[in-house]
């Protein structure tokens, strides 16, 4: 039996405990106070294979800092690869696995199943 997918509230609480921002990326929940749209130019700072393999997406680029959303922000590879790929300072925020998949598909097109 596959484990249950964590709900957005689980991720929200995880982010609160970690002191990290939580963002909703699914436009279907754009009314959520945590909703943040994905800047396509920023998203393309990370290649699609890199983003899909390491489960992250670049949301924004401001003042020399790239904001990257990931459901596992504690994976040391996420921060390291994002910094190496974008050659910029990286700020990691937390999002749900579902929202990441939706955002990746919107930016890069439907991915492989």
- CB of 79: closest distance to other proteins in angstroms? 13
- CB of 97: closest distance to other proteins in angstroms? 11
Segment contacting other proteins by CB under 8 A, of 17-25, 29-37, 42-50, 76-84? 17-25
Residues 45-74 that bind other proteins (CB under 8 A): 72, 74
Segment contacting other proteins by CB under 8 A, of 9-17, 26-34, 47-55, 80-88? 9-17
Q: Which of 89, 111, 103, 113 is nearest to 39 (CA)?
A: 103
Among residues 18, 28, 41, 65, the one that binds other proteins under rule CB under 8 A: 18
Structure token pair of residue 34: 């945590």
CA distance 105 to 100: 9
Q: For residue 93, what is the DSSP state?
A: E
Paired sense of beta strands 65-70 and 89-94, if any: parallel
């Amino acid at each position: 039996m596959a484990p249950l997918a964590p709900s957005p509230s689980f991720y929200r609480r995880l982010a609160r405990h970690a002191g990290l921002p939580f963002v909703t990326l699914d436009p279907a929940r754009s009314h959520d106070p945590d909703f943040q749209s994905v800047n396509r130019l920023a998203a393309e700072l990370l290649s699609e294979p890199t983003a899909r393999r390491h489960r992250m997406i670049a949301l924004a680029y401001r003042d020399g800092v790239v904001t990257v959303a990931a459901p596992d922000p504690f994976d040391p590879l996420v921060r390291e690869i994002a910094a190496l790929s974008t050659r910029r300072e990286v700020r990691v925020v937390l999002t749900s696995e579902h929202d990441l998949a939706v955002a990746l598909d919107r930016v890069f097109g439907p991915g492989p199943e």
